[in-house]
Amino acid sequence: MLNPQISIVAPLYNETESFPRLVERLNAVMDTSPRTIEVVLIDDGSRDNTAVLMQQLALTDSRYHCVFLSRNYGHQIALSAGIAAACATEALFIIDGDLQDPPELLNEFFEKYQEGYDVVYAVRKKRKESWFKRMAYASFYRLVRSISYVDMPLDSGDFSLISRRVADVLNQMPEESRFIRGMRSWIGFRQIGIEYERDARLAGESKYSFSMLKGLAYNGIFNFSEFPVKIITRLGMFTIGIAVIYLIQTLIKRFIYHDVPQGFTALLFVIVLFSGVQLIALGLIGEYVLRIFFQSKGRPLYVVRDVIREKQRQPLPGL
């Protein structure tokens, strides 16, 4: 479809099980909407049948615009590829491909856009996920919000509707370690949240492993905050303060009371403690250095293997 008003963008990684239901629900949304809509699906190097299903769909239904990445790049990069590929003239509706974010909310989100908001983000009222995951997310969002230099809303993920001009800005942001919900806040304009209940995954397991979630959390912290570096300086000043007090106390003991200082254990403890603190400090600085390292290579964010849309409607070789 050429120049649709809205693009629905959904990244997919091994989502064969939920795919038929996803298409059903997307079709229902498009059929009942008065607006012209395309769906941009991104295959993030799936190892199952997802790419084949996507190809079949895109070859028969011109509303689907499918992008196939050369390998698995991770959710944030796949989403960036989708945002870059979307042709919408008015707005992009960003959802997860596992149906945790109901596509039926499109109209409600679009109404806010028509009222003049450039970003309409979803705020999770309730999560149907494990107790541990809910707690981890809740504390993470609160931590990031308290130390970040951009005003990030609590409990909102990537599920959102963004205007064409916000998408254009996102496409111009070359940062390699992407935390899209943070970048979206950084862009500014008028933004508003809409509450919704996040559904449980329709099928399959979460594709985010613990270490991937940790990576995402690190991006949220180190890409949007200078707090970790500042805290090192403050800690340094604090310890120097304590050392000076201790020195004065020792001198008084030595020269006024003629008391020889003792305490080998205390000495060892302090050395070990501050070796640890110094290593942590190095690690924190290392996080920023690593980000400079990756960014300085200037590699593209992802490589597109194939695209199937309107004008290039041919089966892909090798699928």
Q: Residues interacting with Mg ion, by CB under 5 A?
A: 96, 98, 100
Closest CA to 9 of 32, 38, 29, 50: 38
**Measured at the alpha carbon of residue 172, what is the angle toward residues 103 and 9, in degrees to the nearest 5?**
15
Please identify which residue in 8, 12, 83, 144 interacts with ligand UDP, judged by CB under 6 A. 12
Shortest reach from residue 206's CB to Mg ion, in Å: 6
Total of residues contacting ligand UDP (CB under 6 A): 16
Please identify which residue in 41, 57, 78, 83 interacts with ligand UDP, judged by CB under 6 A. 78
Neighbours of 164 (CB within 10 A): 16
Nearer to ligand UDP, 202 or 270 (CB): 202
- Segment interacting with ligand UDP, rule: CB under 6 A, options 202-210, 228-236, 253-261, 278-286: 202-210
Nearer to ligand UDP, 133 or 230 (CB): 133
| Alpha helix segments (H runs only) across the chain | 19-32, 50-60, 75-85, 106-114, 131-147, 164-172, 180-187, 210-222, 227-255, 264-296
Neighbours of 277 (CB within 10 A): 14
Token pair for 229: 């570096």
Contact between 29 and 101 under an 8 Å Cβ cutoff? The reply is no
Backbone angles phi, psi at 202, to 5 degrees: -65, -45
Contact partner at residue 15 from Mg ion, ligand UDP, none, CB < 5 to 8 Å by partner kind: ligand UDP
Shortest reach from residue 2's CB to ligand UDP, in Å: 26
307, β-bridge pairs: 67
Neighbours of 203 (CB within 10 A): 14
Shortest reach from residue 142's CB to ligand UDP, in Å: 18
Nearer to ligand UDP, 72 or 239 (CB): 72
- Tell me, residue by residue from 24 to 63, as one string, x for binding to ligand UDP by CB under 6 A and - for no binding: --------------------x-------------------
Nearer to ligand UDP, 56 or 72 (CB): 72
Q: Assign residue 202 a region: left if phi > 0, alpha if psi is -120 to 50, beta otherwise?
A: alpha
Please identify which residue in 146, 206, 209, 278 interacts with ligand UDP, judged by CB under 6 A. 206
Q: Is 306 in the site for ligand UDP (CB under 6 A)?
A: no
Q: Is 15 in the site for ligand UDP (CB under 6 A)?
A: yes
- Give the dihedral sign, CA 127/130/132/136: negative
Nearer to ligand UDP, 12 or 91 (CB): 12
93, β-bridge pairs: 8, 161
Q: Is 216 in the site for ligand UDP (CB under 6 A)?
A: no
The number of residues in the chain equals 319
Neighbours of 239 (CB within 10 A): 14
- Segment interacting with ligand UDP, rule: CB under 6 A, options 7-15, 146-154, 169-177, 255-263: 7-15
- Tell me, residue by residue from 80 to 119, as one string, x for binding to ligand UDP by CB under 6 A and - for no binding: ----------------xxx-x-------------------
List residues binding ligand UDP (CB under 6 A): 11-13, 15, 44, 72, 74-75, 78, 96-98, 100, 206-208
